[in-house]
């Protein structure tokens, strides 16, 4: 759920909701001091400058200069953005409204503008710190996500041919023995390849699909042996609505069967259990 909120559309909704809530609070506070029309106009002004400062600093200044290790340019443009935005905001308030929200007169003494600038600059300095920290953390999170995805893709690239060769060997063994269910094995292989090729590229798949393919692979392994092997696969609990990373459990079953030497040891056995727990699933063999 957290990943959903921090990526794509979820991130946009979180940002919009946050700015909307701040805007509503700002309007409520200003409306107690000024007429509704002026309160709305002041709210728009008070939200526009901080929002622009936040995203320009995060998406342009931090990403373009700080993250590329051009620290001198980053410091220069950060200073320009910070002080420039604060000064323009103060001038806008003076020209549009004649003073700040607490002023009782339309025209303020000249030194009041400098005090407004000092307070605004201080607030915007804190905002820029939060903006930079947000973007740096966001960049690190995206790098970690890409690294994890790259590792998963690399693992899948290794699994797919390995899985295919093992299954083809099983079918070859059945064909040599002229097993009557060789055609059925080819059909099951087709289903497995479809799952590995198409569903295996998805981020998540229903867990019942992974379970079905594990059962299919076990059946393929059983068919290549002349004598029934002691292989048992049990599922405890309701896992119909769960999701899982594709090809997460199937390679474990494949390796257990490949390296288990069940055909060479008549007393050997393999018991696999997938059990649903409160907030997770336990897979053991």
Using CA atoms, how far apart are residues 281 and 206, in angstroms rounded to an integer?
A: 13
Q: What is the mean pLDDT of residues 199-214?
A: 81
- In this predicted structure, the answer to whether residue 238 has a pLDDT above a threshold of 50 is yes
Q: Is the pTM of this model over 0.75?
A: no
Structure-model confidence comparison of residues 193 and 28, the more confident one? 28
> In this structure, what are the phi and psi dihedrals at residue 123, rounded to the nearest 5 degrees?
-65, -45
134/226 same-domain check = no
Q: Is the dihedral of CA 27, 30, 31, 37 positive or negative?
A: negative
Q: Which of 87-96, 206-215, 219-228 has the lowest mean pLDDT?
A: 219-228
Same domain assignment for residues 6 and 133: yes
State how far the Cα of 43 lies from the Cα of 60, in Å rounded to an integer. 25
Which of residues 215 and 191 earns the better pLDDT score? 215
Same domain, 126 and 232: no
> Domain count of the chain?
2
pLDDT tens, residue by residue, 94-111: 888 877 777 654 444 444
**Residues linked to residue 271 through DSSP beta bridges, in sequence order:** 232
Whether residue 240 has pLDDT greater than 90: no
Half-sphere exposure in the Cβ direction for 79 (13 Å, CA)? 5
Residue 42 to residue 39: CA distance in whole angstroms: 5
Q: Give the contacts of 164 (CB within 8 A, at least 6 positions apart).
A: 193, 196
The answer to the question of residue 59 being in a domain is yes
Query: pLDDT tier at 277 (50, 70, 90 boundaries)?
Result: confident
Q: Is residue 145 a part of any domain in this protein?
A: no
* Same domain? 127 vs 6: yes
Which tens digits make up the pLDDT trace of 51-74? 999 999 999 999 999 988 999 999
124 plus 185 within the same structural domain: no
Pairwise CA distance, residues 233 & 271, whole Å = 6
Question: How large is the average pLDDT for residues 219-234?
Answer: 75
Q: Which residue has the higher pLDDT, 142 or 278?
A: 142
Residue 154, domain member (yes or no): no
pLDDT at 117 over 80: yes
- Note down the domain range covering 185: 177-284
Q: What's residue 102's pLDDT? A: 72
CA atoms within a 13 Å half-sphere pointing along the CA-CB vector of 59: 6
Rg (CA), the chain: 32
Q: Tell me what the pLDDT averaged over the chain comes to.
A: 79
User: Which residue, among 278, 279, 275, has the nearest Cα to 211 in the 3D structure?
Assistant: 275
- Other CB atoms within 10 A of residue 9 CB: 9
Torsion angle of alpha carbons 36, 42, 44, 49, nearest 10°?
-170
Q: What is the pLDDT of residue 106?
A: 44
Task: State what percent of residues in the chain have pLDDT above 70.
Answer: 81
Say if residue 267's pLDDT is above 80.
Answer: no
pLDDT at 4 over 50: no
Distance separating alpha carbons of residues 30 and 90, to the nearest angstrom: 17
Q: Return the DSSP state at 281.
A: E
Evaluate if residue 46 carries a pLDDT over 80: yes
Q: Are residues 131 and 188 in the same domain?
A: no
Q: Which two tokens stand for residue 177?
A: 């023995």
Tens of pLDDT, residues 126-167 = 999 999 999 999 888 888 878 776 766 665 555 556 656 766
Task: Judge whether 161 lies within some domain.
Answer: no
pLDDT at 282 over 60: yes
């Amino acid at each position: 759920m957290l990943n959903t909120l921090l990526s794509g559309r979820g991130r946009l909704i979180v940002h919009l909701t946050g700015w909307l809530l701040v805007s509503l609070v700002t309007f409520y506070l200003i409306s107690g001091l000024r007429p509704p029309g002026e309160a709305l106009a002041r709210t728009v002004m008070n939200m526009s400058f901080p929002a622009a400062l936040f995203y320009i600093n995060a998406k342009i200044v931090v990403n373009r200069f700080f993250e590329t290790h051009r620290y001198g340019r980053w410091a220069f443009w950060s200073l320009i953005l910070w002080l420039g935005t604060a000064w323009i905001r103060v001038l806008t308030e003076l020209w549009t409204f004649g003073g700040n929200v607490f002023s009782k007169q339309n025209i303020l003494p000249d030194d009041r503008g400098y005090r407004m600038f000092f307070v605004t600059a201080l607030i915007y300095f804190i905002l820029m710190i939060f903006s930079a920290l947000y973007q740096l953390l966001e960049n690190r999170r995206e790098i970690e996500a890409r690294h994890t995805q790259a590792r998963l893709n690399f693992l899948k690239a290794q699994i797919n041919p390995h899985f295919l060769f093992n299954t083809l060997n099983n079918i070859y063994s059945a064909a040599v023995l002229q097993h009557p269910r060789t055609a059925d094995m080819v059909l099951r292989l087709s289903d497995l390849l479809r799952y590995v090729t198409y569903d295996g590229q998805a981020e998540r798949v229903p867990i019942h699909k992974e379970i079905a393919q594990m059962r299919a692979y076990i059946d393929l392994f059983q068919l290549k042996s002349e004598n029934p092997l002691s292989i048992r696969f049990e599922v405890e609990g309701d896992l119909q609505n769960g999701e899982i990373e594709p090809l997460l459990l199937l390679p474990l079953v494949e390796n257990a069967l490949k390296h288990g030497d069940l055909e060479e040891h008549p007393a050997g056995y393999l018991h696999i259990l997938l059990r649903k727990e409160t907030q997770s699933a336990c897979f053991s063999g």
